[in-house]
């Protein structure tokens, strides 16, 4: 699975190494040895760029938060446009008694410029029948099309470009890929626990390859529509994150959904995406990063696993053009990823790692969560509630949740159980 999701450059090396077993999964040049991590100093999240200290919550919410956000836009993910003015959503399919009556299902085509021929994406929504209205929801992008999250035959088969893999022929999904990602989306369990689930295919927003922008929202909307991108114009992660906000716009109009209780979730590159969406869009009530690694929850300055050089070489389209300048010189970055996590404060944040996913640097993810705590405390919330990284399969956390699951790079039922429990603690009773 990881080989399918990773795909390019280093990804292929990782996939080949993984095929030989986790112990061999070390791409050439990558450091997987804790003893070889050089010393580093993180930027102080509670200090303004001019060196002045952030003294209280008002300093943070009034000025420092915006400053950190701007730095991530200018140096890492790029600036995104606002919501397009003429968006229309069209319900293309609905069934009030889907999955044997467990849920109602709707499939909504979001026409981003209001026209059938313009850029669009499709949201699949299941709302639990038994839960009192309006219900809280999880929203996350998927890797292979909405039809891969569940074998439900009524889910429309994606017609969009796909990376080659099982059930994909000539870059198009076939019926054979129906339900292919079901192990990452325990739909019935989510519904049984009283949450709605909304998902969309990330490739609808932008196909995931260096030329993908030509067929995605970035060529039709916003600054790059002219075909020229400034060093701080949005990259693909920003485009996907922008799509999550547009999906939230749709949920906010749905009377069955409580838009004040929507958790945004993502795995791996889509975990980076969920974090950037949650950092920018404070309407997201909770943020879940599953194995997001480099460019996500993992500290950039910590030289372990994937590096800025590796990620900007394999995936030049993910970030804004300026980010590449920091390959091999992470210390020059004006931010590090703990500050991305801090942008989620005071909202509940869950960061999860997997013990064999060394490429994503589990310890670097934990340490970033730890280093985001001062902002949570400033906002009157406890962060992780522990100082030491927990052993595998021992979830910890207060307003910041964390676990390292035993096993490989994946979004599993175990991970979802922790997110559902965390959501129960933070999104109920209704705020
Ligand atoms: C890898 C990439 C990681 C991670 C992963 C994924 O190849 O190096 O940063 O995002 O892809 O999305 O599965």
pLDDT of residue 18: 37
Nearest CA to ligand 1 atom 10: 269
Phi-psi region at 320: left, alpha or beta (left = phi > 0; alpha = psi -120 to 50): beta
Q: How far apart are CA 382 and CA 416, in angstroms?
A: 22
* Band (7; pLDDT cuts 50, 70, 90): very low
CA distance 105 to 96: 6
Mean pLDDT of 319-338: 98
Of residues 80, 158, 177, 268, which has the active-site annotation? 268
pLDDT, tens digit (0-9, with 9 covering 90-100), for 19-60: 334 444 578 889 999 999 999 999 999 999 999 999 999 999
Confidence of residue 430 (pLDDT cuts 50, 70, 90): low
How far apart are alpha carbons 245 and 241 in whole angstroms? 7
Of all residues in the chain, what percent carry a pLDDT higher than 70?
94
- The Cα angle at residue 425 between residues 423 and 431, in degrees rounded to 5: 85
List Cβ neighbours of 411 (8 Å cut-off, separation of 6 or more): 184, 267, 268, 290, 291
Q: What's the pLDDT tens digit per position in 121-144? A: 999 999 999 999 999 999 999 999
Q: Which atom of ligand 1 is nearest to the CA of 311?
A: 8
pLDDT above 80 for 17: no
Quick check: 322 and 75 in contact, CB under 8 A? yes
**What tokens were used for 388?**
């030491």
Check residue 29 and give its pLDDT. Answer: 81
| pTM of the complete model beyond 0.85 | yes
Given this model, what pLDDT does residue 15 score?
39
Quote the percentage of the chain above a pLDDT of 90.
Answer: 91
Per-residue pLDDT, 323: 98
Is the Cβ atom of 337 under 6 angstroms away from ligand 1? no
Q: Is 409 a catalytic residue?
A: yes
Residue 214 pLDDT > 80: yes
- Ligand 1 centre from 360 Cα, in Å? 8
Output phi, psi for 72, to 5 deg. -65, -35
């Amino acid at each position: 699975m990881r080989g399918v999701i990773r795909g390019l450059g280093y990804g292929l090396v990782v996939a080949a190494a993984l095929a030989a077993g986790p112990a061999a999964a070390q791409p050439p040049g990558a450091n997987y040895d804790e003893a070889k991590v050089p010393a580093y100093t993180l930027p102080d999240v509670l200090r303004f760029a001019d060196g002045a200290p952030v003294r209280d919550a008002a300093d943070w919410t009034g000025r420092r938060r915006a400053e950190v956000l701007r730095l991530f836009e200018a140096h890492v993910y790029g600036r995104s446009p606002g919501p397009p003015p003429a968006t229309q959503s069209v319900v293309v399919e609905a069934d009030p008694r889907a999955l044997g009556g467990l849920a109602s299902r709707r499939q909504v085509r979001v026409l981003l410029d209001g026209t059938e021929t313009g850029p669009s994406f499709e949201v699949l929504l299941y709302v639990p029948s038994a839960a009192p209205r309006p219900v809280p929801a999880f929203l996350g992008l998927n890797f292979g099309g909405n039809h891969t999250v569940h074998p439900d035959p009524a889910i429309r088969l994606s017609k969009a470009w796909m990376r080659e893999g099982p059930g994909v022929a000539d870059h198009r999904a076939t019926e054979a890929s129906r339900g292919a990602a079901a192990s990452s989306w325990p739909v019935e369990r989510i519904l049984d626990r009283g949450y709605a689930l909304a998902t969309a295919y990330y490739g609808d927003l932008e196909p995931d390859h260096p030329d993908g922008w030509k067929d995605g929202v970035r060529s039709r909307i916003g600054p790059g529509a002219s075909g020229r991108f400034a060093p701080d114009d949005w990259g693909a992660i920003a485009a996907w994150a922008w799509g999550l906000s547009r999906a939230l716009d749709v949920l906010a109009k749905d009377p069955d959904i409580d838009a004040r209780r929507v958790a945004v979730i993502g795995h791996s590159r889509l975990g980076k995406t969920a974090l950037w969406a949650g950092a920018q869009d404070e309407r997201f009530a909770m943020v879940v990063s599953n194995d997001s690694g480099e460019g996500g929850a993992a500290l950039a300055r910590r030289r372990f696993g994937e590096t800025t050089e590796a990620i900007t070489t394999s995936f030049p389209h993910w970030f804004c053009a300026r980010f590449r300048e920091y390959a091999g010189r992470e210390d020059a970055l004006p931010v590090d990823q703990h500050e991305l996590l801090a942008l989620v404060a005071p909202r509940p944040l869950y960061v999860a790692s997997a013990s064999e996913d060394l490429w994503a640097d589990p310890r670097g993810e934990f340490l970033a969560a730890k280093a985001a705590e001062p902002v949570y405390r400033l906002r009157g919330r406890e962060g992780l509630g522990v100082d030491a990284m927990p052993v595998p399969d021992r979830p910890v956390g207060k307003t910041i949740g964390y676990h390292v699951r035993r096993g490989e790079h994946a979004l599993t039922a175990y991970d979802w159980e922790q997110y559902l429990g965390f959501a129960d603690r933070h999104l109920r009773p209704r705020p």
